[in-house]
């Protein structure tokens, strides 16, 4: 299990970056739709977009934090 720590650390970082990108795109798109800059979509759809992308952000960030916690647990088990 020790040989997979590098992969877990790297994948955690990549997932955190992806979560931040999703949040940025969601905020940008949600604000654009809410302000009426996107024709053909009702303004309330911007709030729906914000909610969906916020959920994706928290989900991905939670997955990354679980991977970080797993790395810490493996390190603590190996110390004993």
Q: What is the mean pLDDT of the chain?
A: 91
> d(Cα 31, Cα 37) in Å, to the nearest integer?
9
Q: What is the DSSP string of 15-58?
A: HHHHHHHHHHHHHHHHHHHHTT-STTS-THHHHHHHHHHHHHHH
How much is the pTM?
0.83
Intra-chain end-to-end CA distance of the chain, in Å = 15
pLDDT class of 80 with cuts at 50, 70, 90: low
The total of structural domains in the chain comes to 1
Enclosing domain of residue 58: 2-6+16-79
DSSP state of 2: G
Q: Is residue 27 part of a domain?
A: yes
Q: Is residue 41 part of a domain?
A: yes
Tens of pLDDT along 2-24?
677 888 899 999 999 999 999 99
Tens of pLDDT along 36-72?
898 888 999 999 999 999 999 999 999 999 999 998 9
> Is residue 27 within 8 Å of 53, Cβ to Cβ?
yes
Tens of pLDDT along 62-72?
999 999 999 89
* pLDDT computed for residue 75 by the predictor: 86
């Amino acid at each position: 299990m020790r040989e997979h720590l590098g992969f877990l650390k790297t994948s955690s970082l990549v997932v955190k970056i992806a979560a931040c990108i999703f949040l940025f795109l969601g905020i940008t798109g949600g604000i654009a739709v809410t302000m009426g800059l996107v024709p053909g979509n009702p303004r309330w759809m911007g709030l729906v977009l914000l909610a969906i992308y916020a959920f994706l952000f928290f989900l991905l960030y939670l997955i990354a934090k679980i991977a970080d916690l797993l790395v810490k647990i493996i390190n603590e088990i190996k110390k004993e």
